[in-house]
Structure 1
Amino acid sequence: MDQILRLFSDYTFQVVAIGSVSLGVLSGLTGTFAVLRKQSLIGDSIAHSSLAGIAIAFMLTQTKNTEVLLLGALIIGLISTYITSFIAKNSRVNFESSMALVMASFFGLGLMLLTEIQKTPNSNQAGLNRFLFGQAATILERDVSLILIITAVVALATALFWKELKFFTFDPISAQIQGFNSKILNTLLSAFVVVSVVMGIQMVGVVLMSALLIAPAVAARQWTHSLLGMTLLSSLLGGISGLSGTIISSTVSQFPTGPGIVLVASVIVILSLLFAPQRGILARKITQSNVRKSHYDDILLLHLIENNKLVKDESYSKDVLVDIVKTDDHKMGSKSVDAWIHSLMNRSFLELTSDSLYSLTDSAYENLYLNGKGETL
């Protein structure tokens, strides 16, 4: 604990941590719309394509100035996004296939250019490979300031166009009919993703940036049904991932920050997929088990009613009910019968009278017998 507290007073850690948290918030915000629009791979396509932009910017300027290299990545990212959309709209190639095609083409170009750059007898080319996997320790205060500004601009634009973005995300055709300019909204959302990826490749790298873009949104989706709730929670989880990954990287020797951030985000996704109260795998398994149990209980009750073993307006002691059920289903023991009685009482199919006897309710008789004899089950 003392080591972690000392970290927060370290200037280098503060710079990297603020940058990581801001990047996580930005990624969570923009990733929400990408996930809901079923365009999760667009970040991966842009991130891999941006490597070519970095290489081209270096070859043209012969400088490793971060702003210049990221500008090249931004330009190529926008170009790759436009090409992807153009191919999808003007050919029979679907959007996912066009993304894969553009990503492979630009990433291959980027690797080829980096190889050529490495062959040049110029020491200034050293260090460009850090954009492949990221190197958060190299970011400066001005880089963090740029990330903070971009995050604030994206958040403000999202707030200003919230109604339009919400409408367009869930029903783009209706949004266009209502008079919203779909081209502008699509361009705006694509620009959000491009700037997020470009801001993150220095810290996380082109290989892992798409994971940071998608993971917080996927995790948040498991916990809420609200777009606003998902957006806020996704941004929060992205920030937590950024801070946690930076702490782990600073406390564990030779542990890179970018993969640490993505690793934390992945753990959050796994926990959300497992334990979310409504969408989680465990919750769904429990719900399915309860539904199957209720279905069996209803079928057994219906069978007893149809064979006149249980009759409306008559009361039965618990021992009599146990004997009736055991006679009908020899596999059920006393504990199973108790659970069956408890299940029916919870759903108001059985009621306990004042003299400790059980009787069918009107609800059980009407729902299970009169209304189609079990067809609703």
Structure 2
Amino acid sequence: MTLHYNTAVVLSGATLLGALAGLVGSFAVLRKRSLTGDALSHASLPGVCIAYLIVGERSLPMFLLGALASGVLGIITINLLTTRTRIREDAAIGSVLGVFFGIGIALSKRISQLPGGGSRAGLDSFLFGKAASMRFGDVVWISVIAAGCLIAILLLYKQFKLISFDSDFGRTLGWPVRRLDLALMSLLAVTVVIGLPAVGVVLTAAMVIIPGASARFWTDRFGRLIALATLFGGAMGFIGTLLSAYNRALPAGPTIVLAGACIFLISLLGGWRRGVIARHLQSKKFHAEISRRRLLEGVWELQQGRGGAVQSADLRQLQSWPPRHLNNTLITAFHAGELTPQPPGFRLSTKGEAAAIEITRTHLIWRELLQEHPEQAAAISDLTAPLSEQVQPELIERMRQRLEQRGDWPTAENRA
């Protein structure tokens, strides 16, 4: 498949732009500032119109400079509204977005009424994007800006990482959190402005938000998320532009965003960390493990109480088990070799007995932990992980000794 020169230029520019949007936008997603990109793009329209009214002709550098100035003014306005008044951030973003965009539409209407104004200004390309008009010089500009943003992020990587998760802790360390946040928002403003000619005011926010939101389904590691977001952004720019190049009926800007929507849908369903399928499988695994623990602990308790074989009816009487759920759990335990038949029922095997003792011990320590140290119990995030990995070993040892002194500590020697 041979690409024309113009197509290759547009393809390179859109891919670089998408990668830049994913790189910078991922920080906005982590900072819960996703709507800030939308506000920036809409707030930039008055700057484009004012730049045309001042220059009197279509000048891309002046348009971008005006858009950047107007966008930064919008961000400053949002910051003042949230810090100096009782207005919440989402309300401030919505207000600035609507007001600035309304001013931009009014100014663009005025420009369209000037003799030759509408066609000469080319404002439609800033509203809806026109990636096909990208030139080699634009690609060079995007490359330079992308390199500058990458250098800034590498230099301030540790600081940006901290304020993305815990800005209050950054303040306690004496870091200029507000300045760092302003620097991050400035990078976002530059990214949004440089993307206006390609995807337009209306769709730029999607290009900034989608890669970071998609990457969130695949990993919990900060570095990997940034890398994945950059990759997804570049992929949506490349795929969308390529589809548009070989189907003239598809405009490049919307097609890029639709490609991003497909990436997001795939991530939503198939992401192995937070995707729908992965979460469903994790939930099934978690409930199966809880059922296994309940079963082994219940059989151990019944054997301790009376000895001999245990029947499923005894378990249903001891614990509220739905019959089908209990049968499935019993089958799994037999396959795992944790139960062995003993007419007229079953009992724990050696393997099952060891597991039941360990589960019962963990349950008893959990109960002690909840009663004596509830703050420690509240800090535990994974209920299936060993307690020794989440609680201080000295604390577990003290609770074990207390249980032994009371005669409640189960061992293989006190089996029925």
Same fold (TM over 0.5): yes
| Cα distance change on mapping 1:334 and 1:172 into 2, 3 Å | closer
- Superposed, which structure 2 residues align to 1:268-307 within 5 Å? 268-307=263-302
> In the alignment, which residue of structure 2 is the partner of 1:337?
330
Residue 293 of structure 1, CA deviation: 2.6
Looking at structure 1, the residues matched to 361 and 184 of structure 2 have their Cα atoms a distance apart, in angstroms, of 54
Inter-partner Cα distance in structure 1 for 2:305 and 2:247: 68
* 159-168 vs 176-185, which moves further: 176-185
Look up the SS of the partner of 1:279 in the other structure: coil
Q: What pairs up with 1:93-242 in 2 under 5 angstroms?
A: 93-123=87-117, 124-125=119-120, 127-242=122-237
Q: Deviations over 1:206-254 (max 9, x none)?
A: 1110011011111112212222211111111111111111111011231
Q: Is the 8 A contact 1:51 1:73 kept in 2?
A: yes
CA 371–105 in structure 1, closer or farther in 2 if over 3 Å, else same = closer
Cα drift, residue 334 of structure 1: 7.0
After superposition, the C-alpha distances for 1:114-173 in whole angstroms (9 at most, x for unaligned) are: 111111122553521121110101111111111111000000111111122222222222
Q: 261-270 or 164-173, which moves further after superposition?
A: 164-173
- CA displacement at 1:301 relative to structure 2: 3.3
* Alpha-carbon distance in 2 for matches of 1:273, 1:193: 25
Equivalenced residue count is: 356
What's the counterpart of residue 390 of structure 2?
none
How far is the alpha carbon of 1:310 from its aligned partner?
9.0
Deviation at 1:300, TM superposition (A): 3.3
What is the CA-CA distance between 1:23 and the residue it aligns to? 0.4
Q: CA 1:214/1:299 → structure 2, altered by over 3 Å: closer, same or farther? A: same
The CA deviation at 1:335 is 6.4
- Give how far 1:328 is off: 4.8
Note closer, same or farther for the CA distance 1:310–1:296 as it changes in structure 2 (3 Å cut).
farther
Given candidates 258, 272, 277, the residue that maps to 2:253 is: 258
What whole-Å deviation, never above 9, does each CA across 1:56-93 have from its counterpart, x for those lacking one?
11111111111111111011011111111011100111
1:32 — aligned with what?
26
For 1:88 and 1:265, the matched residues in 2 are separated by 31
CA distance, structure 2, for counterparts of residue 18 and residue 80 of structure 1: 30
Instruction: Choose 288-297 or 88-97, whichever is displaced more.
Output: 288-297
Output the amino acid matched with 1:337.
Answer: L
Q: Is the 8 A contact 1:299 1:374 kept in 2?
A: no
> Which gives a bigger RCO, structure 1 or 2 (Cα 8 Å, sep 6+)?
1
Whether the aligned pair in 2 keeps the contact of 1:34 and 1:40 (CA below 8 Å) is: yes
- Aligned residue number for residue 65 of structure 2: 71
SS of corresponding position for 1:201? helix
TM score, norm. by length of structure 2? 0.79
Pairwise CA distance, 1:326: 6.5
Q: Distance in 1 between matches of 2:314 and 2:160?
A: 62
Q: State whether residues 45 and 99 of structure 1, in contact with CA within 8 Å, keep that contact through their aligned partners in structure 2.
A: yes
Shift in Å, 1:327: 6.9
Query: What residue is the counterpart of 1:59 in the other structure?
Result: 53
Larger mean Cα displacement after TM superposition, 177-186 or 271-280:
177-186
Q: Where does 1:18-29 land on structure 2 (aligned, <5 Å)? A: 18-29=12-23
2:360 corresponds, among 359, 368, 375, to 368
Residue type at the aligned position of 2:232: L
Q: CA RMSD in A?
A: 2.7
Q: Distance in 2 between matches of 1:136 and 1:89?
A: 38
Provide the identity percentage.
Answer: 32
Quote the Cα distance in structure 2 between the aligned partners of 1:24 and 1:245: 10
Label 1:80 to 1:209 Cα distance change in 2 as closer, same or farther (>3 A). Answer: same
Aligned to 1:50: 44
CA contact (8 A) 2:293 2:359 kept: no
Partners of 2:154 and 2:172 lie apart in 1 by 22
CA distance in 2, matches of 1:335, 1:167: 46
Contact 2:295/2:329 (8 A) holds in 1: no
TM-score (norm 1): 0.86
Q: What are the superposed Cα offsets for residues 168-203 of structure 1, whole Å, 9 maximum, x if unpaired?
A: 222222223323222321121011110000000110
Name the residue aligned to 1:358: 349
CA distance in 2, matches of 1:225, 1:328: 40
Counterpart-to-counterpart distance in 1, 2:237 and 2:262: 13
